[in-house]
Every structure is written in C-alpha cells, then in structure tokens.
Amino acid sequence: MINIRKLESELWESADLLRQGSKLSSQEYCMPVLGLIFLRYAYSRFKYVEAEILKDRPVRNGRVLPVESSDFKQKSAIFLPEKARYDYLLNLPDDADCGKAVNEAMELIEAESTQLKGILPKTYTSFRNDLLKELLRIFNNSALNEINDDILGRIYEYFLNKFASAIASDDGVFFTPKSLVKMIVNIIEPTQGIVLDIILQRLIQFNYPKSYCA
C-alpha cells in the first residue's frame, strides 16, 4: 500500500532541493514543475487507456492495428504523440536540448486537446539540461502509475499548495482547494454547457467526473 503523504513529501523535498540549487525563483519554477507532474499524469493515463483499447483491437494481416488519436477521443482521453510521451523525454540523449523537447511535448498535447490550448507551460528552455532531466527522473516514480487512485492528482494539489504563496498574482488569484471547488460546483449545479472559471480548470484537466464540470 502506498504511503501517499510520505511520497508527496519525498517528491517535494527532491524537487525543492533542485530549485534551491538553481538560479530560478519559486515564481519561475512552480508552473514548469506542475507541468511536468501533468506530463507524468498524462502518460500514465495514456498507457492505461491504450491497454484498454488494445484488449479488443482488430487484427489485419496478422498484425494488431495501430492505436490512433480517434481511439482515445472515443474514450474521452488525450492521445499522446511519441514525442509527448514521458518515456521519450526521460530517455533523450545526453546532448539533446531537453527544454526544447519538453516545450514541444506541451505543444503537441495542446494540439490534441482544445481544452488545454494555451494553458500548458512552455518555458523549459530557461532550465539547465541537468536540472530538467533530474526533475523528469524524480517524477518517474513507479507509484505514480496508480492513476485509478488519483495519486498524481493529489500530488499536483500538494505541490500547488506548497507553491501557493509564490504563484499568487497581483490581482489576487490564489490556489483554490479541491474541497472548495466541489462545494462551489455543487451549489451552482451546472447541468449543461461548459463552466468557464479558472478554479474549475484543474478539474477539467485532470479528468474528474463530468458531474463536477459539465
């Protein structure tokens, strides 16, 4: 059984230690780090849905038909092109421009999802290669494959809460706890359409039930 609190603490300590050793402020560091957690979540979700699709995949000329973007849309999931997959980024050659590759991964994911268009961070070229590769390694913890328990969602919120004081903007935008988001949604009781509110965006991004954000 996974000790989620211990895992959250270990991941935070490792990531924050790297921040302290870099020239980046918390403000510059927080959103890219949250973006990497999202990438790790997206990859876990991708592998899970891919396995489900392949269970009933037709065979042609002795070969299983390749999985396509349309197959994922039918499952309400995001298809990840090869260069947007976490394992691809994790195994980049030592001389590769890691920041450029992660920026490209974010752009590829946005191209697959209109809901994410213009939302994902793309400032990874400001990171040193060694720092970015170490962050990718830190978030490649096997415990994060347990997507059915929403472990990555919890870790995302844990990091977001830790960064809260740094990401507060001048116009008073602060981290909103999930419990408060749920309460607001329950009060307004949306039944159709899309709720355009930034505090609900995290629910949409992390594929919470449509009853929360329909």
Residues 126 and 23 in one domain: yes
* CA 5 to chain CA mean position, Å: 19
- 200, burial (CB in 10 Å: exposed 0-12, middle 13-18, buried 19+): buried
Residues 106 and 126 in one domain: yes
Residues 159 and 76 in one domain: yes
Residues 156 and 185 in one domain: no
Last residue of a domain, one of 150, 168, 186: 168
* CA 205 to chain CA mean position, Å: 8
Q: What is the pLDDT of residues 26-57, one digit of tens each?
A: 788 888 898 998 899 889 889 999 999 988 88
Query: What's the chain's average pLDDT?
Result: 79
Residues 87 and 111 in one domain: yes
| Range from 93-97, 156-160, 184-188 that averages highest in pLDDT | 93-97
Where in the sequence is the domain holding 28, given as residue range(s)?
4-168
* Token representation of residue 172: 């008073």
- Taking the model in full, what pTM does it have? 0.72
Other beta carbons within 10 angstroms of residue 54's beta carbon come to: 12
What's the CATH code of the domain at 10? 1.20.1260.30
Alpha-carbon distance values, 2 to 62, 134, 141, 142, 146 (Å): 40, 23, 12, 11, 9
Q: Which residues of 72-104 are buried (b: 16+ CB within 10 A; e: fewer)?
A: beeeebbbbeeebbbeebeebeeeeebbebbbb
Residues 160 and 191 in one domain: no
If one counts the domains in the chain, the total is: 2
Asked if residue 198 has pLDDT above 60, the reply is: no
Residues 58 and 130 in one domain: yes
Q: What is the pLDDT of residues 134-173, one digit of tens each?
A: 999 998 887 777 655 567 777 877 887 778 755 554 344 4
Other beta carbons within 10 angstroms of residue 6's beta carbon come to: 10
Residues 102 and 153 in one domain: yes
Q: Which residues of 141-167 are buried (b: 16+ CB within 10 A; e: fewer)?
A: bebbeebeebbbbebbbbbbebbeeee
Residues 146 and 50 in one domain: yes
Residues 8 and 113 in one domain: yes
Residues 154 and 183 in one domain: no
Residues 137 and 201 in one domain: no
